[in-house]
Structures are given as C-alpha cells and as structure tokens.
Copies of this chain bind each other. A is one copy, B any other.
C-alpha cells in the first residue's frame, strides 16, 4: 500500500478521490479476518481468556500475537428527568485507582447487549430506565483485546426501592452530576480518564444535541 501516494492525493484532494476513499474507508463491514496458523498458549481467567497464536495478517505478514478473548460488554449513559448524569466512582485493581465510569458489564452467555445493560444499570445505580437509544459500538483496546462494548443512552429513569446490590468485589459509589460538571472533570487534568466513559459521553452529547 503506497501511503505516501495516498497522502499526496489527500493533500491535493479532488472530490472524486475523497468520495471514493470515504466509501471504502468508512465502512464498518470492511472486515478482514486474520488466519490463526497455530495456537501457542492459553490462560483462562474469570470472564475472559488470554491466547497467544501464530497469526497471518491480511497483508501476508506472519507473527505471534497475544490477545484477550472477551465475550463483549454493554454500557449505559443514564440521564435523569432533571437532565443530570449518573456516573460511578469505581475501584479498578489493574490501575490501582478509583475511576469515573458509566455503568457497564460483561455480557453473560446468551444475553443480548440491551438485556445485559438493563440488568447492570439497576444493580449498579439503583435506577431502572424506560427509554433506551443505541449509541453505537466501541473497542477499548484493539491492540490486545477483541472486546466490543455496545453503548446505550438510558432515559426516563426511576429509582428502585431495593438496595443497590453489586458483586462482592465491586467497590462502587453513585454520583449524580450536571453535564457541565462532568465536562469539567474530564478537562480538569485531575482525572485519569476511562476511555469507554468519555467516548460514550461524546456520543451521548452528539445524540442529545441533535434532538
């Protein structure tokens, strides 16, 4: 692939070239599977496994690559009737920190993303939602994980009477913020940002701005 040639075309763009490029470059069906030549090693963890395989990439290059095989997850951006945002302050052992994160959870076997997040939002925030909109899909770490996270906007919230009941190893507090407070926290420099949360917030703002 001649990257330099492409760059020259784009620096001197003609409409034809650009439309053509957009058609082929921005298609989510532009999928190319790599070929697993050999499974070299594997470790199973609770909700996912880690594999090292000998892989042939679509460009012909072959190498050994390790990655996490993950069942996928679903996430909600919950907006209250007063236009406030519900977000969690949650402990993550891998980064030894309490992060700001939207409610999310790993898909269970046979569970659809929307059913998964309808369960998770109740368990993690103590609210249920009646109005759901799709905000697309993200990949958090495409260099070493196949996880896809399905994003949803959750509105028309109702507070449940029951206690919030998370997993034993979840260390979570529920915050209710004005949208500008969340923007300020993201820009403050005081937060290590959770990428799925900021991406979902970006999408939610795009969606809500168009209403």
Contacts and interface: CB of A to CB of B under 8 A. Distances in A.
Given A63-B169, A68-B144, A198-B203, 16 more contacts: A1-B172, A11-B176, A25-B173, A26-B191, A30-B97, A31-B96, A32-B96, A41-B43, A45-B144, A46-B64, A46-B66, A61-B168, A92-B139, A95-B142, A139-B193, A199-B202
24 contacts: A1-B173, A3-B164, A7-B176, A10-B174, A27-B190, A33-B96, A34-B93, A43-B43, A45-B52, A45-B64, A46-B64, A46-B65, A57-B93, A58-B171, A59-B171, A61-B169, A92-B142, A94-B142, A94-B144, A95-B139, A99-B142, A138-B195, A140-B195, A149-B195
B45 A126 contact: no
Given A10-B176, A45-B66, A187-B203, A91 B26 contact: no
A50 B192 CA distance: 22
Interface residues of A, number: 93
Enumerate the 5 nearest inter-chain pairs by beta-carbon distance, A residue then B residue, closest first: A45-B66, A195-B195, A92-B142, A198-B199, A138-B193
